[in-house]
């Protein structure tokens, strides 16, 4: 009796699932995720599409994911540029953040178009790349894109040109300085509550007779130590700053090998 009633409940759920599944399949072809290299599972595509849609609405940009097996002899920047020109021409969406993964060349490129060229400038692109490179290296591309969307949105809240990871903008830093300042001021108030020593080394000195009678500074030896400037171990960065697509759209961006 009980079992059979539960069976009935399942039917609308299944219908709903089919409905949404069908929706996101149509979104996949037209909208935000262009997984041509097949790096993501279909569940991941659905989740990421929803995520990108939600964050994109907040920031008024399209968060785009593009993967490919081969850039067909072009640089990843050129390939990405051509893709974006096509998409922008057909949809009219000029403001976008585009993460391109060339799984054949093992390169990743992040670019900001339109308003995102300012709100996600090259410096911020670099910071995002720093965060996603470990995930790229471990092959966790879904999380890499999720991280890109979330972190970029966070960064885009900040005024353009400001380094969003600056220590001076961190709350823990503000708190630490506030406590330190209060500690120093109240501590010195306590220390000086009983009266301060106001004599200085100069109070009793006899300036006419205190002097250096003789002095000598003689060079003895010197030592030189060398240290190599550490190389960036996350692979080489390239294309820093951004550029212009074949269709004349300028963008901010940066890429890495992984």
Partner 1 sequence: MVIHYKCPNCGADMAFDSESGHLSCPSCGHEENIETFPEQNIERKFDEGEAKEYHCENCGAIILTEAETTATHCSFCGAPVVLADRLTGDLAPAKVIPFTVSKDEAVAAFKKWTRGGRLTPRGFTSGDRIKKMTGMYVPFWLYDIEGEAHIQAIGTQVRTYQSGDTIYTETNFYDVFREIDLSYLKVPADASEKMDDVLMDKLEPYDYSELKDFRMPYLAGYLAEKYDFDDEQLFSRVESKIVPYIDAYISTTISGYSSVSYTNKQIDAQKKKVYYTLFPVWMVYYDFDNKEHTFAMNGQTGKVVGKPPISIGKVALWFTGIAASSFVAMKAIAFAVGGVLW
Where do contacts with partner 1 occur on this chain (CB under 8 A)?
157-159, 162, 164, 166, 168-169, 171, 174-175, 177-179, 181-183, 185-186, 189-190, 193-199, 201, 203-206, 208-229, 231
For tokens 């178009």, what's the residue? 113
CB 118 to partner 1: min, Å: 13
CB 30 to partner 1: min, Å: 33
Q: How far is CA 232 from the centre of its chain?
A: 17
Which two three-digit tokens encode residue 227? 């240290």
CB 97 to partner 1: min, Å: 18
Task: Report the largest interatomic distance among the alpha carbons of the chain, rounded to a whole angstrom.
Answer: 111
Considering beta carbons, is residue 7 or 159 the nearer one to partner 1? 159
What does the DSSP 8-state code read for residue 231?
P
CA 127, 252, 85, 89: dihedral to nearest 10 degrees?
100
Considering beta carbons, is residue 57 or 189 the nearer one to partner 1? 189
Considering beta carbons, is residue 85 or 123 the nearer one to partner 1? 123
Considering beta carbons, is residue 8 or 168 the nearer one to partner 1? 168
CB 107 to partner 1: min, Å: 24
Considering beta carbons, is residue 208 or 248 the nearer one to partner 1? 208
Which two three-digit tokens encode residue 146? 């999720």
CB 146 to partner 1: min, Å: 21
CB distance 26 to 42 below 8 Å: no
What does the DSSP 8-state code read for residue 41?
-
3-class secondary-structure state, position 99: strand
């Amino acid at each position: 009796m009980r079992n059979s009633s539960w069976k009935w409940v399942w039917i609308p759920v299944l219908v709903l699932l089919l409905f949404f599944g069908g929706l996101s399949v149509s979104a996949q072809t037209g909208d935000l995720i262009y997984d041509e290299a097949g790096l993501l599972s279909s569940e991941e595509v659905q989740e990421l599409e929803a995520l990108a849609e939600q964050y994109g609405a907040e920031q008024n940009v399209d968060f785009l994911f593009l993967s490919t097996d081969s850039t067909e002899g072009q640089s990843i920047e050129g390939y990405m540029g051509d893709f974006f020109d096509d998409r922008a021409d057909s949809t009219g969406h000029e403001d976008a953040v585009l993460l391109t993964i060339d799984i054949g060349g093992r390169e990743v490129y992040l670019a900001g178009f339109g308003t995102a060229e300012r709100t996600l400038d090259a410096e911020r692109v670099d910071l995002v790349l720093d965060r996603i490179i470990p995930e790229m290296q471990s092959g966790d591309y879904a999380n890499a894109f999720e991280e890109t969307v979330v972190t970029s949105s966070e960064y885009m809240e900040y005024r353009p040109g400001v380094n969003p990871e600056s220590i001076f903008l961190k709350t823990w830093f503000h708190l630490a300085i506030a406590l330190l300042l209060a500690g120093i001021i109240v501590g010195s108030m306590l220390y000086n509550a009983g009266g301060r020593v106001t004599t200085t080394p100069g109070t009793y000195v006899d300036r006419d007779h205190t002097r250096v009678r003789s002095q000598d500074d003689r060079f003895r030896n010197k030592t030189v130590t060398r240290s190599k400037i550490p190389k960036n171990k996350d692979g080489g960065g390239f294309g820093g700053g951004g550029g212009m697509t074949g269709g004349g759209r300028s963008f901010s961006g940066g890429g890495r090998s992984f």
